Amino acid sequence: MQTTGERVLKGVTGGVQLGTTAAGIRAKGLNLAGRFKGRLAPNGVTSNLTERLEANASRRLAEIQADAGPRSHFFSRHGAQTTIEQQYERALTGLTPDGFSGNAVDSGRFLSHRGQLNAVQAAEEIYARTGRKVFTFDAGYEIGEGFLRNATGSVRTCNVRAVFDTNGKLKTLFPQLSPLP
Partner 1 sequence: MKSVNPYFLHTLLEPITGLADDDGAVARYASLDPNDERSVRKVIRELILPHANSLKEAVRKEVRLAYRFYLSKPEANWGRVFDSNLPPFNAPNDPRLFFIWVWEECFLGESYDLADWDSYSENPDINGPLRL
Q: Which residues bind partner 1 (CB under 8 A)?
A: 3-5, 71, 73-74, 77, 96, 100, 102-103, 105-106, 126, 130, 132-138, 148-149, 159, 161, 163, 171-172, 174, 176-181
CB of 114 to partner 1, least distance (A): 22
The CA distances from residue 112 to 17, 56, 75, 130, 149, in Å, are 16, 12, 11, 27, 22
What's the half-sphere exposure (Cβ side, CA atoms, 13 Å) at 14? 8
Decide whether 84 or 163 has the Cβ nearer to partner 1. Answer: 163
H helices then E strands: how many in the chain? 7, 6
- Shortest distance (Å) from residue 106 CB to partner 1: 5
Name 174's bridge partners.
161
Question: What is the rounded CA–CA span in Å between residue 48 and residue 53?
Answer: 9
Smaller CB distance to partner 1: residue 32 or 105?
Answer: 105
Q: Which C-beta is closer to partner 1: that of 30 or that of 134?
A: 134
| Least distance to partner 1, CB of residue 124, Å | 14
Least distance from C-beta 67 to partner 1, angstroms? Answer: 16
Neighbours of 92 (CB within 10 A): 15
